[in-house]
Amino acid sequence: MGNKKKKQMEFRYYEIPYGEPVLALLGEHWNQPYGFDRDHQLVTDLHFHNLMEIGCCYEGTGELVLEAEKYAFCGGMVSVIPRKFPHTTLSPGGEVSRWEFLFLDIEKIAEELYGQDRRMYEWILSRCGRGAFCRNKAEAPELYRLVVMILQEMSRKRERYQEMVRGLLGALLVEIARNTGENPTGMERSLGERTGAQHLFSAFEYVSLHYTQEIRARDLAAACHMSESHLRRLFAQAMAMSPMDYVNYVRIEKACQRMKTTEESIAATAAQSGFVSVSAFNRNFRRILGVTPREWKKSPENYQGRLAQYRIAYHDGWE
């Protein structure tokens, strides 16, 4: 009997353009059948993001897969998916659906809006990180209205649209928090609470806290209370990358943020992002983003589209 191919989980990186409150994926490009590869074969592998994803379906039908659960989607529906939550959108019959998407850095938004009110800040992050859910506009009219208003502002870009969107985001986060509190679909589990990849969440959090320091695979294994060999197996099976691939991905993400907001040298960025040398920084940067840090820093606006569509999917033997 042949071996059944194991599903793999992708980590997709989306970057918010400099100066914008959110990343908005708008327009006709997102009118398509979902879940098909370039050979027009249906692909059901799950993926997750570094940012919260909010999708608005205007037309069409299909399946929204939220980890182990499947939900029918249709026009007039909003999906809210926290970062690191496994999911995918499928159009099994090949029907074209019309979607638009927002990607949010809720930690940054909550800090800007509620940094002086730590109880509110913690409430927002706790509620908005509970789990994924979907609602139609009849069930959650306020949520649907807020999402559509933000999408319209990001599309039209009228005078002071950034300030308008930032104001709407405060209301949107509260409305998302209200919906996760009600949680009628019972989806309060995050990636870190699920079987298979459950222990990897501790590794993600460890890297988020210590990426500027030396990190070894055994450090991540210890954080997850498992053997190093088991950790490597979980990363390979669930994410199609090694633990150190993930560490370097996070460091590159942080380096991009620094290069957009500081005038420091490449060497300083490399050091502040956790790389032991400029050569290691350059090598990993080119491998992940396809350009050198100097090229990216010289003209970062040229790479916003590339970053928005780049899929992090390492495979054994790339090193």
Tokens of 79: 């999906």
pLDDT at 301: 55
Please check whether residue 103 is in contact with residue 90, taking contact to mean a CB–CB distance below 8 angstroms: no
Q: What is the pLDDT of residues 108-118, one digit of tens each?
A: 999 999 888 98
The amino acid occupying position 278 is V
pLDDT at 186: 37
Distance CA 279, CA 299 (A): 21
Tokens of 210: 């210590």
Q: What is the pLDDT along the chain (319 residues), one digit of tens a residue?
A: 444 444 567 777 788 888 899 999 999 999 999 988 877 888 888 888 889 999 999 999 999 999 878 999 999 999 999 988 889 999 988 899 999 999 999 989 999 998 889 889 889 988 888 789 999 999 999 999 999 999 999 999 999 999 999 999 999 999 999 998 654 443 434 333 444 455 677 788 788 889 999 999 999 999 888 999 998 988 887 777 899 988 998 899 889 888 888 889 999 999 999 999 999 999 999 888 888 998 888 765 544 444 444 444 433 222 2
Distance CA 319, CA 313 (A): 13
SS (H, E, C) the chain: CCCCCCCCCEEECCCCCCCCCCEEECCHHHEECCCECCCCCECCCCEEECCEEEEEEEECCEEEEECCEEEEECCCEEEEECCCCCEEEECCCCCCEEEEEEEECHHHHHHHHHCCCHHHHHHHHHHHCCCCEEEECCCCHHHHHHHHHHHHHHHHCCCCHHHHHHHHHHHHHHHHHHHHHHCCCCCCCCHHHCCCCCCHHHHHHHHHHHCCCCCCHHHHHHHHCCCHHHHHHHHHHHHCCCHHHHHHHHHHHHHHHHHHHCCCCHHHHHHHCCCCCHHHHHHHHHHHHCCCHHHHHHCHHHHHHHHHHCEECCCCCCC
Distance CA 154, CA 175 (A): 19
Q: What is the largest CA-CA distance in the chain?
A: 64
Q: How far apart are the first and last CA of the chain?
A: 32
Q: What is the pLDDT of residues 101-140, one digit of tens each?
A: 999 999 899 999 988 898 898 899 888 887 899 999 999 9
pLDDT at 289: 82
The DSSP bridge partners found for residue 57 are 77, 99
Residue with tokens 């589209």: 305
pLDDT at 318: 24
Distance CA 232, CA 241 (A): 9
Q: Which residue, among 261, 218, 239, 259, has the nearest Cα to 316 in the 3D structure?
A: 239
Distance CA 74, CA 57 (A): 7
